[in-house]
Structure 1
Amino acid sequence: MHFLVSSELLNGENEIKLHDLAKRFLEERIFVEFTDIDKAEVWVETLDARTQETWSRVLRHSVHLKSQHNMKKLYLAANKIRVLHNISESVWDGQVTLTLDDACMVLDHVTLIGLENSRNDRDFLLTLLPQRSRERFMNLFQKGRLAFVGGGGNGELKVQLIERAVTPSFRLLSWIMFDNDACYPGHVPQATQDLIQVCTDNNLTFHCLERRCVENYITREIYNLTHPDIKGQKVESIFGLSLEQSKYFNFKKGFGKSKEEDHAVYANLTEKQKKELGRGFGDKLASEVYCAEYQQQIHDIFRALNVMAEFGTKIAHLEQLLGRPV
Structure 2
Amino acid sequence: MRLVLTDSLFQAADDLEVLGLLHRALGRRCYLAVRSPQADAYLRWHQALTPARREAWDRQLEWTLRDGAVHRIRSVEVVADGFCDWTASPVRLTAAEATRLVDLPFYILLENSRYDRAFLLALAPPAHRPLLERLEAEGRIVFRGVGGLNELRLVVEQQIAPRAERRLSHWALFDSDAAAPGLASADAISVSETCQAADVPFHMLERRAIENYVPTGALYDWADAGYRTAKARRHLLSALFSLTPAQRHHFHFKSGFSAAPTQQEQELYADVPSAIRATLENGISGAEIGRLFHNDLRGRIRAQVDKEGAGAELAPSLARLMELLRVPHG
Query: TM (normalized to structure 2)?
Result: 0.84
Q: Which runs of 5+ in 1 are unaligned?
A: none
Q: CA separation in 1, counterparts of 2:303 and 2:328?
A: 20
Q: Which runs of 5+ in 2 are unaligned?
A: none
Q: Give the 3-state SS of the residue equivalent to 2:203 in structure 1.
A: strand
The farther-off stretch of 9-18 and 182-191 is 9-18
Pairing partner for 1:84 from 76, 79, 83: 79
**8 Å contact 2:124–2:315 — kept in the other structure?**
no
* Aligned residues between the structures: 316
Q: Give the 3-state SS of the residue equivalent to 1:289 in structure 2.
A: coil
**CA RMSD across the alignment:** 2.8
The answer for the alignment partner of 1:114 in structure 2 is: 109
Offset of residue 226 of structure 1: 5.2
Q: CA separation in 2, counterparts of 1:27 and 1:241?
A: 51
Offset of residue 190 of structure 1: 1.6
Offset of residue 211 of structure 1: 0.6
Q: Give the 3-state SS of the residue equivalent to 1:98 in structure 2.
A: strand
Q: CA separation in 2, counterparts of 1:59 and 1:289?
A: 39
Q: Give, as a single letter, the amino acid of the residue that structure 2 aligns with 1:202.
A: A
The answer for the alignment partner of 2:259 in structure 1 is: 258
Q: CA separation in 1, counterparts of 2:43 and 2:202?
A: 40
Cα distance 1:171–1:124, how it changes in 2: closer, same or farther (>3 A)? same
**8 Å contact 1:253–1:283 — kept in the other structure?**
no
Q: Give the 3-state SS of the residue equivalent to 1:232 in structure 2.
A: helix
Offset of residue 192 of structure 1: 1.2
Q: CA separation in 1, counterparts of 2:317 and 2:29?
A: 18
Pairing partner for 2:216 from 213, 220, 234: 220
The answer for the alignment partner of 1:314 in structure 2 is: 317
Q: Give, as a single letter, the amino acid of the residue that structure 1 aligns with 2:7.
A: S
Pairing partner for 2:274 from 271, 276, 298: 271
Cα distance 1:313–1:167, how it changes in 2: closer, same or farther (>3 A)? same
The answer for the alignment partner of 1:70 in structure 2 is: 69
**8 Å contact 2:168–2:324 — kept in the other structure?**
no
**8 Å contact 1:2–1:75 — kept in the other structure?**
no
The answer for the alignment partner of 1:93 in structure 2 is: 87
Offset of residue 29 of structure 1: 4.1
Cα distance 1:186–1:35, how it changes in 2: closer, same or farther (>3 A)? closer
CA offsets, 1:93-118, max 9 Å, x none?
25111121211111111101111111
The answer for the alignment partner of 1:54 in structure 2 is: 56
**8 Å contact 1:9–1:84 — kept in the other structure?**
yes
Q: Give the 3-state SS of the residue equivalent to 1:75 in structure 2.
A: coil
The answer for the alignment partner of 1:184 in structure 2 is: 180
Q: Give the 3-state SS of the residue equivalent to 1:284 in structure 2.
A: helix
The answer for the alignment partner of 1:26 in structure 2 is: 26
Q: Give the 3-state SS of the residue equivalent to 1:152 in structure 2.
A: coil
Offset of residue 179 of structure 1: 0.4
Cα distance 1:228–1:324, how it changes in 2: closer, same or farther (>3 A)? farther
The answer for the alignment partner of 2:156 in structure 1 is: 161
The answer for the alignment partner of 1:248 in structure 2 is: 250
Q: CA separation in 2, counterparts of 1:223 and 1:93?
A: 46
**8 Å contact 1:113–1:149 — kept in the other structure?**
yes
Q: CA separation in 1, counterparts of 2:106 and 2:145?
A: 14
Query: TM (normalized to structure 1)?
Result: 0.85
Offset of residue 300 of structure 1: 4.0
CA offsets, 1:100-142, max 9 Å, x none?
1211111111101111111111110001223453233233333
The answer for the alignment partner of 1:3 in structure 2 is: 3
The answer for the alignment partner of 2:140 in structure 1 is: 145
Q: CA separation in 2, counterparts of 1:25 and 1:288?
A: 37
**8 Å contact 1:20–1:107 — kept in the other structure?**
no
The farther-off stretch of 146-155 and 218-227 is 218-227
Matched, 1:238 2:235: no
Cα distance 1:241–1:172, how it changes in 2: closer, same or farther (>3 A)? same
Pairing partner for 2:202 from 180, 196, 206: 206
Cα distance 1:314–1:19, how it changes in 2: closer, same or farther (>3 A)? farther
**8 Å contact 2:108–2:142 — kept in the other structure?**
yes
Q: CA separation in 2, counterparts of 1:43 and 1:292?
A: 52
Matched, 1:286 2:290: yes
Q: Give, as a single letter, the amino acid of the residue that structure 1 aligns with 2:297.
A: E
Seq. identity, %: 26
Cα distance 1:219–1:311, how it changes in 2: closer, same or farther (>3 A)? closer
Q: Give the 3-state SS of the residue equivalent to 1:193 in structure 2.
A: helix
